[in-house]
Structure 1
Amino acid sequence: MLSDTGDIVLQVQLVDGEDQALTAYAALPLHTWIRLDIFFQVSEAKLTITEILPAGKTLESTHFFDFDQPVQFNDTSGYFVIGGCIYMQGIHGYIGPIRYYRLGSENVTNPLSPVRTLKELDRLHRHCEEMRQVTEDYLQALRQSRDISRDVCESFYGDLKRKFDRRECTQTWSWDQQRRFNLTLRLLEEHQELITGLGNSNRHLLRVSRVVYQDAVKTIAKAEESDSGLDLLSTVIQQLQVSSCWGHQHSSLLLATLHLSGLGVPVDLEQGHVYSLIGGVSDDRLALMHLGYKHMQGLDGFPKDQNTAYGYYSNIGTQTSIDCNKVQDSSQTLTEHVHLNNDDELHTQTGELGDIVQYLKHQADRGDVEAQKTLAGMLLWGSNGVEKDIPAAVMWYTRSALQMVDPSAMYDYAILLLKGTGVKKNRTLGLELLEKAANMGSVEALNGLGWYYSNIVKDGRKAFRYFELAAQNGSRDGLFNVGVYQLNGDNPDKPDRNETAAFHYFLHAAQLGHVDGAVQSALFLSTGSIQGVPRDQDKAVLLLKRVSEMNGHLGFMVKDALQTYQRGSWHEALVKYAMLAETGLGVAQHNAAHLCEVLGHSSACQWRYHNYSTYNHIPQEVGLLRMGDYYSELADVAKAIDMYSTAAVHGSAHAHTHTHTHTHTHK
């Protein structure tokens, strides 16, 4: 374990069952690669700490421990975790290669690898640290220059001192810094109007970096159509590097996308890996999905490793669980799977002025409950091209529920009342609506009553009865809640904890799309720590990938890309869809490939994203067919038939024709 002062705590269990811990007062430095070697022999332990300094030199120190009693060695019990877990936080940093010797070894070989990538990562972090200091100095100078403002009353003597006192001008930055950070200073100068107030430097910097990112996306789109495209992209990459250093992690993901895909620039896997990791270490949602996907499939030079993929997907899964409870967040919407070559799907995304929404409003005004519910859902989640409008959503939920004829409408409004989402809390009316909805056959209302008695009345027995009824009738929330009761031993009839039963409830809920159910069941599958549940890392990763693609922030980005396309900015839409495609989202891969094809993009992005779309748990039909055609042209019959056959299994009518033709042609 690592303390917040950089000291290392070594905790062990002795053979008599006692736990002991000793501390190595190492005060480990920040922003440094550190190798730890730990050796155990009976009751003694040796810890060797090797700091890898920037110039390639090393600094080594050794600490010895004696626990007096033999240490318990049993690596077949429990599971092995590197970094944080549900019981303890991890560090904010990177963990390099790990080697474990069960029987000991005189010589331990475990070099830092891949060396070039990790050295570049180290260099870039140091560069960003210096850039942030230069930026802070600029902001400090700007604060001092704005001390005299219209809102501040200065004394008469202060005014005289300012006018007539001898002025001293100190040079804030060295000439070398001014040369190396010329672009940083220029961007700050150009966007001074965004750095007003200066109460919170980080918040203002994020505003500037967001504008830099948005401008960069537009410039990348123009570069494909320009004769000076490479020069434009060179400048854009430098601007994105500044934005990334300022903490805007979509800039990091865009840099990774450009370098990995070769979208307008030569492919550079090393730089792609570096910026992928920078986004991931900052817990950025899209960057975590991107890294999880690359390790899940073993793409672009990332080693195929389900354990590593699980770490990233577990993080984004937990964040998605938290995000689901923030429905009023304007930067979240539903993730809608709209294919750009499907006119019917595009027609559903025409927004407030489109035929669908106008018709729904007309029907809703006439009292049609289904129209009122549908319109309320669109406004609450910002779907179908509609902008989020919580007050309007609540109004339609109210009108549909108070007709007292539709149990699902009554349930939806009751939950808003009980939680106070967009409306003043009213537990009395909320409970009344839940009870009536349950009596009318609403399964979700049964779960809602369980939530009411569990969280408000604190009647566990009654709550569990409702949760169980909901679960028996197929409610995913009910299934999850019964699982929680089983896990915690809160079942009033069987008060013992039953992790195995809890797992099966969680898994069933996850299969119905429950985010928390997926996170919990994936944890059990990943560790294999409960009786009757074998370890299955592949299944754990797949469960988490599915629910991570329900994240509202991802949905917001998907909606933004679609609206960019609808405005006619197809090159810009391609950049946005390419970023999303790198997270493993199938519909984004399909749309990126489609735009690459119709725009005749100079890179090979069409085949890259069609190919990637075939790897998903629900592969894209068009991707399978196009890759089948691609392999046919290369005379790779086996791969072509594999693609067509997979498409046929997933219901493609066109695939049957292709498979039949190839089977007869190549007999």
Structure 2
Amino acid sequence: MMRSFSFSLALILSLSFSHGALAAPLEDGKTAFDAGQYEAAMQSFSAGFRAGDAASGYYLARMLELGLGVEADPVAAMQFYRQSAEGGNVEALNRVALMHYRGEAGVAQDYEQAARLFGLAAEQGDRNALFNLGKLYFEGEGVEKDAGQAIAYYRQAAEKDHILALNTLGALYRMGAKSPEDTARARAYFERSAAFGNAVGLFEMARLILEEGTDAPHQVEAHMYLNLASARSHPNAPEALQELTAAMTQEDVEAAQQKARAFVALSDEGAE
């Protein structure tokens, strides 16, 4: 049975938040969280938050929002996000903006407020906020629709290796390709995404490679990407992998599999 943290959460919420930092509880919490020790992580993040560490408050809110180690409570999570954002945590500010965008956790959907908050977080360089603000400009939600401004924000997020931004720009340049330069840009964005082991980036790299040529070297490289994309559950990769495998010699397939085994993805945190 999941242990209840209702009393401790009520206590934390009753405390005022102050600026400050407390590295030990934050790092202890992250270590416990990575080990799946959610109760210990919750206790460490709570201690850090009570001591005035905005980052601890952010992680505490994430656990509350997702129901990790405690019963999910989005409304309480929103309160932690707000206080952490007021304490200077830009990731929390992005989450507050997202909740205004989606209309959840006790707040009404408000695109203009979301755009304002994403803008504040983007000014501080948060890559998730940069991408989210770009999306608002692309869709014309809360701001005047402006594809050029959207792409500018997507590019800033992509420069910080935001996976969705990399894939979005890759798709935009691919669909609107009017020159070899556009195709090269699409490939560069998808290649960077693939380097992190992203299934979309891997699959799109295979498609681009086969469009460049279908000789043995191109097939081997494309097979590697499709194999990795399939392993990462891209919905179209398994069938494409089977078709390509059937068109290749056994020797080339084995060479491609060797390349897949040698692949080591760059590490990165998820985006949101």
TM interval, shorter chain, is: 0.5 to 0.7
Decide whether the 8 Å contact of 2:54 with 2:87 is kept in 1.
Answer: no
Q: Of 80, 84, 96, which aligns to 1:396? A: 80
Aligned match of 1:378 in 45, 58, 63? 63
The answer as to whether partners of 2:136 and 2:150 remain within 8 angstroms in 1 is yes
Equivalent in the alignment of 2:92: 409
1:531–1:404 Cα change, 3 Å: farther
1-side partners of 2:136 and 2:87: how far apart? 20
Does the 8 A contact of 1:506 with 1:521 survive in 2? yes
Please say if 1:433 is aligned against 2:117.
yes
Partner residue in 1 for 2:167: 480
**Which whole-Å CA distance do the structure 1 matches of 2:32 and 2:40 have between them?**
13
Asked whether the 8 Å contact 1:522–1:540 carries over to 2, the reply is yes
Q: 1:414 corresponds to which letter in structure 2?
A: A
Whole-Å separation in 2 of the counterparts to 1:430 and 1:475: 20
* Distance change (3 Å), C-alpha of 1:389 and 1:449: same
**1:468–1:482: 8 Å Cα contact kept in structure 2?**
yes
| Whole-angstrom distance in 1 between the partners of 2:181 and 2:128 | 26
Q: Report runs of 4+ in structure 1 exceeding 6 Å deviation.
A: 344-347, 494-497, 615-619
Equivalenced residue count is 201
Unmatched 5+ stretches in structure 1:
1-343, 549-614, 620-667
1:543 aligns with 2:229: yes
CA distance in 2, matches of 1:428, 1:363: 33
Q: 1:462 aligns with which of 142, 145, 149?
A: 149
Contact 1:522 1:544 in 2 (8 A): no
Distance 1:346 1:436 in 2: 29
CA drift at 1:359:
2.7
Q: Deviations over 1:132-169 (max 9, x none)?
A: xxxxxxxxxxxxxxxxxxxxxxxxxxxxxxxxxxxxxx
2:41 aligned with 1:359: no
| 1:531-557 Cα distance to aligned partner (Å, 9 max, x none) | 699332122211342466xxxxxxxxx
Q: Structure 1 464/363 Cα, relative in aligned 2: closer, same or farther at 3 Å? A: same
Shift of 1:426: 2.1
1:368 aligns with 2:57: no
Instruction: Give deviations 1:43-62, integer Å, cap 9, x for gaps.
Output: xxxxxxxxxxxxxxxxxxxx
- Deviations 1:30-54 (Å, cap 9, x if unpaired)? xxxxxxxxxxxxxxxxxxxxxxxxx
Q: 1:458 to 1:391 in 2, by over 3 A?
A: same
Q: Equivalents in 1 of 2:127, 2:53: separation in Å? A: 23
**Is the 2:194–2:200 contact (alpha carbons within 8 Å) kept by the matching residues of 1?**
yes
What is the correspondence of 1:93-112 to structure 2 with a 5 Å cutoff? none
Instruction: Report matched runs for 1:212-231 at 5 Å.
Output: none
Per the alignment, do residues 392 and 522 of structure 1 end up closer, same or farther by CA in structure 2, a change over 3 Å counting?
A: farther
TM-fit CA distance, 1:347: 8.7
CA contact (8 A) 2:48 2:56 kept: yes
Higher-helix-fraction structure: 2
> Partners in 2 of 1:436 and 1:411 — Cα distance?
9
Output the amino acid matched with 1:419.
Answer: R
Aligned 8 A contact 2:191 2:201 in 1: yes
Shift of 1:479: 1.6
Secondary structure of 1:408's counterpart equals helix
Could you tell me how far 1:417 is from its partner in structure 2?
1.9
Structure 2 CA distance for partners of 1:436 and 1:392, relative to 1, 3 Å: same
Shift of the 363–459 alpha-carbon distance from structure 1 to 2, 3 Å rule, reads same
Give the 5 Å matches for 1:196-275: none
Task: Write out aligned runs for 1:639-658 (5 A).
Answer: none
Q: Decide whether aligned partners of structure 1 residues 476 and 396 sit closer, same or farther in structure 2, where only a CA change above 3 A counts.
A: same
Matches of 1:421 and 1:511 in 2, distance apart?
34
Aligned counterparts of 1:347 and 1:412: Cα–Cα separation in 2: 21
Instruction: Specify the code of the residue in structure 2 equivalent to 1:363.
Output: G
Shift in CA distance, 349/469, structure 1 to aligned 2, threshold 3 Å: closer
Is 1:447 the counterpart of 2:131 in the alignment?
yes
Alpha-carbon distance in 1 for matches of 2:183, 2:34: 47
- Give, in whole Å, the separation in 1 of the partners of 2:190 and 2:33: 35
Q: Distance in 2 between matches of 1:487 and 1:460?
A: 16
- Residue 36 of structure 2 aligns to a residue in which SS? coil
Give distance in 2, aligned partners of 1:431 and 1:464: 16
Inter-partner Cα distance in structure 1 for 2:225 and 2:212: 16
Contact kept in structure 2, 1:522 and 1:543, CA below 8 Å: no
Tell whether 2:185 aligns with 1:501: yes
Aligned residues of 1:506 and 1:518 also touching (Cα < 8 A): yes
In 1, Cα distance between the equivalents of 2:136 and 2:99?
A: 13
Amino acid at match of 2:152: R
In structure 2, the CA distance between the partners of 1:404 and 1:458, relative to structure 1 (3 Å rule), is farther
Contact 1:488 1:497 in 2 (8 A): no
- Tell me by how many angstroms 1:509 deviates: 1.8
Q: How far did 1:376 drift?
A: 1.9
- Counterpart amino acid of residue 428 in structure 1: E
* Cα RMSD for the two superposed structures: 3.5
- Say if 1:617 and 1:388 are closer, same or farther in 2 by CA, change over 3 A: farther
Identical aligned pairs, as a percentage? 24
Gap runs ≥5 in structure 2: 1-30, 235-259, 265-272
Q: Deviations over 1:567-616 (max 9, x none)?
A: xxxxxxxxxxxxxxxxxxxxxxxxxxxxxxxxxxxxxxxxxxxxxxxx97
The answer to whether the Cα contact below 8 Å between 1:361 and 1:375 also exists between their aligned partners in 2 is yes
Offset, 1:362: 3.3
Counterpart CA distance in 2 for 1:347 and 1:489 is 41
3-state SS of 2:218 partner: coil
CA distance in 2, matches of 1:616, 1:405: 43
SS in 1 for 2:155: helix
- Judged with a 3 Å threshold, the aligned counterparts in structure 2 of structure 1 residues 348 and 446 are, in CA distance, closer, same or farther, namely same
Contact 1:477–1:514 (CA under 8 A) maintained in structure 2: no
Q: Deviations over 1:344-390 (max 9, x none)?
A: 87994333xx333123223324542111111122233444x445443
The amino acid across from 1:407 in the alignment is V
